[in-house]
Amino acid sequence: MASNVIQIQKSELESVFNELGLSAVNSGTCGKEWKKADPKAEKLTSYNPATGEALADVICSTEEDYEKVTQEAQEAFKEWRKLPAPKRGEIIRQLGEAYREHKEALGKLHSLEVGKITSEGLGEVQEVIDICDFATGLSRQLYGLTMHSERPEHRMYEQWHPLGVVGIITAFNFPSAVWAWNSAIAAVCGNTMVWKPSEKATLTAIAMQRIAHRVLEQHGMTGVMGLVISKDKSLGEKMAADKRMPLISATGSVPMGREVGQVVAKRFGKSLLELGGNNAIIVMDDADLDLAIRGIAFGAVGTAGQRCTTTRRVFVHKKVQKELVDKLVAAYKTIPIGNPMDNGTLMGPLIDEGSVQAYEKTVAEAQKQGGKLLTGGKRVDLGGGSFVEPTIIEVSKPLDIMQHETFAPILYICPIDSIEQGIDFQNDVPQGLSSAVFTEGMKNAEQFLSAWGSDCGIANVNIGTSGAEIGGAFGGEKETGGGRESGSDSWKAYMRRQTCTLNYGKSLPLAQGVEFL
């Protein structure tokens, strides 16, 4: 169900820009100071995916800019690491408060630049605020273990130290939250960082960085969070190869992550990779179907199918297949598509025309392989923008096309006979991010969560694949990359472990009873 032609009020755009310190031409480089925007320099234009109209220009960072920002991050690290962790946590708390103050404007910017509906745009900013709160508490909980030594008058313990400059590469679909997962936690751990955002979400990155820079400036700590922007992958490639960055955290496609991982490994650096997802929901014959419909619909249609946790496959027990399919198709036909800034909209645009073409190509290929198109499958004409219909394709068995992730609202529905078959089908893809089962049966749920159940980093029961909380570690296995960000003990990725042994006696006994001299 599509709305009318979309119009974005110029006054609303100007209001957002004014509050967040943006302009028609913005500098995309920040280290200890913001680089002045030179209108003659190379530009990257940010477009509104809902209208196709240009929002503003961004001045790209040069290789010299990258070098300067990285050197400044190195220098800032020398002082930042000396600051007690709870003091660093207090600064991150203030950063969260600053984002809370500008939450509404930042949420609108997410809608304008990447097409998120209002609630999702605001929700992403809230996620940034939440991770700042989480990191503040974490700053007093960077625990190491103590252990008893086998040698008399010796004490052993382990402690954790910051790594240095962390390189952060983010994707367009979560233009602020993923950066915050990394930066807030890396910062309280004592690291500094350089951020290269997606070229499709530059204004959001600049707005986030401007607020961060102001907070850090109040404490004389500029340089802790740096920003560089390029219109291609050139600066990302420099980061991956840069020995001054002991950790590269990269979010994006599997091919990108494979390239980054290989380059970083070659120099013996560490990489934290959050890559593709090809997420499935299993619906058993004892499931609450109304609950399952809601979980599937949000998982498959939220953010126009452009989440790494988007539901792309549903494996439903044959006994309830028809009922589920009928209800889901009916629900899809009522989803309002249109201006993401209208409160009634549930699905906004894809990020650009290339994504629309990928959507159309995938729908055609799925039908060619034997899939039955139940609803959707076409682009939506709203007088501009990159809109498509949420799409359901029914299959009798898994298709080859289902091995691949398409960043669009395309959902495959396939019948199963048992929980075992559902798990086998779910796991039989290269990716392993998020998964879910809807069932009222304890045995089904426990089997799904067992060591021979879901092989994904995230496994849910009676909720969908999308919408992870910041308190749990986020990430997946196989081609998803194996990285973990956000909650639990993910902070350890940003630190180095050190085992310490203290001898407070006057003899020098050796371990394992070894005698020497």
Residues forming the active site: 274, 308
Two tokens, residue 503: 């001898």
Token match 């560089």: residue?
Answer: 228
Q: Which amino acid is at 111?
A: S
Place of tokens 């309002």: 336
CA distance linking residue 109 with residue 103, whole number of Å? 10
In a 13 Å sphere around the CA of 40, the CA atoms on its Cβ side amount to 0
Pure H helices in 219-266: 234-241, 254-266
Q: Is the dihedral of CA 259, 454, 376, 46 positive or negative?
A: negative
Token pair in block for residue 360:
């159309």
Unique residue bearing structure tokens 């909209």: 345
Q: Are 300 and 390 in contact (CB under 8 A)?
A: yes
Compute the distance between CA of residue 93 and CA of residue 107 in angstroms, rounded to an integer: 20
Contacts of 18 (CB under 8 A, 6+ apart): none
Nearest alpha carbon to residue 185 among 128, 103, 226:
128
Q: Could you give the count of Cα atoms lying within 13 Å of 69 in the half-sphere of its Cβ?
A: 29
- Contact, 272 vs 485, CB < 8 A? yes
CA 361 – CA 118 distance, rounded (Å): 29
Element (H, E) at 295: helix 289-301
Strand partners, 416: 317
Distance CA 459, CA 453 (A): 9
CB 474 within 8 A of CB 458: yes
CB count within 10 Å of CB 232 equals: 10
Positive or negative torsion for Cα 217, 223, 224, 229? positive
